[in-house]
Structure 1
Amino acid sequence: MTNLPPLAPLASFRAAARHGSFTKAAQELHVTHGAVSRAVKQLEGFFGFELFERRNRGIYLTDRGRAFAAQVETLFAGLERTCEELKTTSPAPRLSVSCEPTLAMRWLMPRLDDFHRAAPDAEVLLSTAGGLIDLSEQGVDLAIRRSDFAWSGRYHSESLGREPIGPVCSPAYWAAHEHTPKRLLHTRTRPSAWTDWKGLSGQTPDADAEQYFDHFYFSLQAATAGLGLAIGPLPMVRDALAQNLLVAPYGFTTTPTDYVVITRRPPAPDSPAQAFITWLTQTLDLPRS
């Protein structure tokens, strides 16, 4: 194996070649700029020639660097496919799912047993997180997110439907405040929720007070407890509405934001991931764009 270069630096080289930047490669790999630079220099020391030209504070693949990058990309893609095949051919396939916390707690978890009955051979391992995600590094097969951020173009994504939102409160709160100014409940994780709804719906409830919470889940719990009106995304309040724990006096307005599923590549038609995505789409039953 004397003709093989050191293998550890290959991930850094691959990321730097893809981004054309040591800084962006470091951000993707969650390491320092210096670590990426040293990894590339280690490879260049092995080959005895430069893989990148450094000029004008930028980096540019040399001809030999470009040829090597193509081979490295092919090898990594093949390795990733092999690993995925090994996982999906196991006797009891496991599907690792990352979901936004409030959607997971208020909508997905109460319904997971329905999916298990529909696909008894698939085991869902659920974790909660929002925003950016590195599927490979975090060992996640599938992420459920709102489309309010940019994710890597190397991932596959598909829409589960548009998000309807509307103010919600307890029936007792509405009975007491239908004709009086209301307390508006805000969440710091989505601070523009009220502004977005007002702009889309054209409605502006009279308000005499405001209260802020650190997370969407808490603002919805506060609304259920009768503390005021909170903006409720329909999937997150659907059960509470059906149980008459909440009412939606102004109805729901469909937003331009989608719920999306993000995967490394399009799932195979007969895979657990595709079965889960199909079930999600049917069960969420959201407006389509």
Structure 2
Amino acid sequence: MKSLPPLKPLISFRSAARNKSFTKAAHELNLTQGAISRAVKQLEEFFGFELFERRNRGLFLTGKGKQLAEGVEEALVRLERVSEAIRLPETKRRLSVSCEPSLAMRWLMPKLETFLASNPHTDIHLSTGGGPIDLSAEGVHLAIRRSDFAWPPHYHCTPLGRERIGPVCSPEYWAQHKNGPKQRLHTRTRPEAWSDWDSVSTIRIDFNSEKYFDHFYFSLQAATTGFGMAIGPEPMVRDDIKQGLLVAPYGFETTRIEYVTLSLDRPGTDNDMNAFINWLKAELSLPTH
């Protein structure tokens, strides 16, 4: 315990570090700016070095200050989660999950009830988001992402399986256009989707027109209604293929990208998180018929 700094000032330091301002921290904690300054000074005296420096009228963490801020943030977030867990009824344990929007809407949400049925004591709080995420700031236990960006080294990454993609369209569209040129459907949120297909497949498709959509989800929805041909990640189109709403005439190819989960806590130390990750792996590995 002798190595621990005074604990009460850590709350003020955390707020000042996150807001990059003593004034904003004081407003957030309903304290005076002087109280925030004294709390930070108390920590600096304990450690023997400065935690902040002022440059160009701005407040910046020093190197060691940033290191301390990251440790304090992680420790307090975990404490908040424990506090939240023990205050909830014992029959429900909350697991906050962030998932790529299209994967959430077209795959996870329709299947989530099967997980909850076999894990009735787990309460999944689902939000959507893509790419980089600050797990601490957003209060997320687990993020489901594609491995196409860099995440902080202290995040625990669990691979779920490599992504498989393929061109998809409605059966009616394929019947009318399989021997002729087709319309290619793009999405602005993932403009490299067709390039990804070209990099893993030797099949070249004849296109004579293109149409753009703001979101990946919309391009897949357009494909089911006969607008043209879109790139479909296999999990997101699996149910539509089973229901006869889509066909994948050229099959699916495996890309270099993986689906992964990111967490602050090691999954093996949390039974609810571990059970959910194992379920995700099993569901993603199911074949398309």
Superposed pair shares fold, TM > 0.5 = yes
- Change in Cα spacing, 1:194 to 1:33, as seen in structure 2 (3 Å) is farther
Runs of 4+ in 1 over 6 A off after TM superposition: 33-36, 38-42, 53-59
- Change in Cα spacing, 1:280 to 1:222, as seen in structure 2 (3 Å) is same
* 8 A contact 2:10–2:72 mirrored in 1: no
Sequence identity percentage: 49
In the alignment, residue 236 of structure 2 is paired with which amino acid?
M
* Corresponding position of 1:23: none
Aligned length: 265
The alpha-carbon deviation at position 83 of structure 1 amounts to 3.1
**SS of the residue 1:136 aligns to:** helix
In the alignment, residue 13 of structure 2 is paired with which amino acid?
L
Relative to the length of structure 2, the TM-score reads: 0.79
Distance 1:87 1:226 in 2: 48
* 8 A contact 1:185–1:228 mirrored in 2: yes
**SS of the residue 1:151 aligns to:** coil
Distance 1:8 1:126 in 2: 28
* 8 A contact 2:98–2:140 mirrored in 1: yes
- Change in Cα spacing, 1:75 to 1:139, as seen in structure 2 (3 Å) is closer
The alpha-carbon deviation at position 10 of structure 1 amounts to 1.7
- Change in Cα spacing, 1:240 to 1:87, as seen in structure 2 (3 Å) is same
* Corresponding position of 2:50: 51
The alpha-carbon deviation at position 204 of structure 1 amounts to 1.4
The alpha-carbon deviation at position 80 of structure 1 amounts to 3.6
* Corresponding position of 2:124: 124
Distance 1:140 1:59 in 2: 25
* 8 A contact 1:241–1:247 mirrored in 2: yes
In the alignment, residue 122 of structure 1 is paired with which amino acid?
T
Distance 1:137 1:247 in 2: 41
In the alignment, residue 212 of structure 1 is paired with which amino acid?
Y
- The one-character-per-residue Cα deviations of 1:234-288 (angstroms, maximum 9, x if unpaired) are 010000000110000111010010111111121245621111111111111179x
* Corresponding position of 2:166: 166
Relative to the length of structure 1, the TM-score reads: 0.79
* Corresponding position of 1:11: 14
Structure 1: gaps of 5 or more residues: 16-28
**SS of the residue 1:250 aligns to:** coil
- The one-character-per-residue Cα deviations of 1:23-51 (angstroms, maximum 9, x if unpaired) are xxxxxx4x468979x99976665557751
**SS of the residue 2:140 aligns to:** coil
In the alignment, does 2:80 pair up with 1:83?
Answer: yes
CA RMSD, 1 decimal: 3.3
In the alignment, does 2:220 pair up with 1:220?
Answer: yes
